[in-house]
Amino acid sequence: MKRFIKGDDAVSPIIAMMLLLVIVTSTIGGIYAVGIPKIELAEDRAQLQNMRNSFSVLQGDIKEVVQSPSTMGQEKVSKMMMDRGSLYIYPTSVENGTGYIQYSTGDQMVAYENGAVFQKITYEDYSEMVSDPMMYIVFDDNNITHINFHQITINGSSIGSVGGSSTQRIRLERGDVSNPVEAQLDEVTFELESVFHRGWEDYFDKMLTDAGLVDGYGYTINAVDDDVTLRIIGNSTDAGVNDIYLYYVNTDVKVEI
182 DSSP β-pair partners:
247
Flag whether 26 is in a domain.
Answer: no
- Confidence category of residue 14, pLDDT binned at 50, 70, 90: confident
Residue that wins the pLDDT comparison between 151 and 237: 151
Residues 116-163: tens digit of each pLDDT: 999 998 878 889 999 999 998 888 877 788 999 999 999 876 566 666
For residue 62, the one-letter residue type is: I
Flag whether pLDDT at 30 surpasses 80.
Answer: no
Q: Is residue 20 part of a domain?
A: no
Residue 230 within a domain: yes
43: in domain: yes
What residues contact residue 7 under an 8 Å CB cut-off, 6+ apart? none
The 3-state secondary structure of the chain reads CHHHHCCCCCHHHHHHHHHHHHHHHHHHHHHHHHHHHHHHHHHHHHHHHHHHHHHHHHHHHHHHHHCCCCCCCCEEEEEEEECCCEEEEECCCCCCCCCEEEEEECCEEEEEECCEEEEEECCCCCEEEEECCCEEEEECCCCCEEEEEEEEEEECCCCEEEECCEEEEEEEEEEEECCCEEEEECCEEEEEECCCHHHHHHHHHHHHHHCCCCECCCEEEEEECCEEEEEECCCCCCCCCCCEEEEEEEEEEEEEC
- Kindly report the CA angle at 170 between 150 and 201, in degrees rounded to 5? 35
How far, in Å, CA of 124 to CA of 162, rounded?
24
Using CB atoms within 10 A of its CB, is residue 92 exposed (0-12), middle (13-18) or buried (19+)? Answer: middle
- Residue 208: inside a domain, yes or no? yes
Q: For 221-234, what is the mean pLDDT? A: 86
79: confidence class by pLDDT, cuts 50, 70, 90: confident
Number of domains in the chain: 1
Does any domain span residue 75?
Answer: yes
The answer to the question of residue 129 being in a domain is yes
Q: Residue 44 belongs to what domain range?
A: 36-256
| pLDDT score of 245 more than 60 | yes
Q: Is residue 13 part of a domain?
A: no
Of 94, 55, 62, nearest to 77 by C-alpha is 62
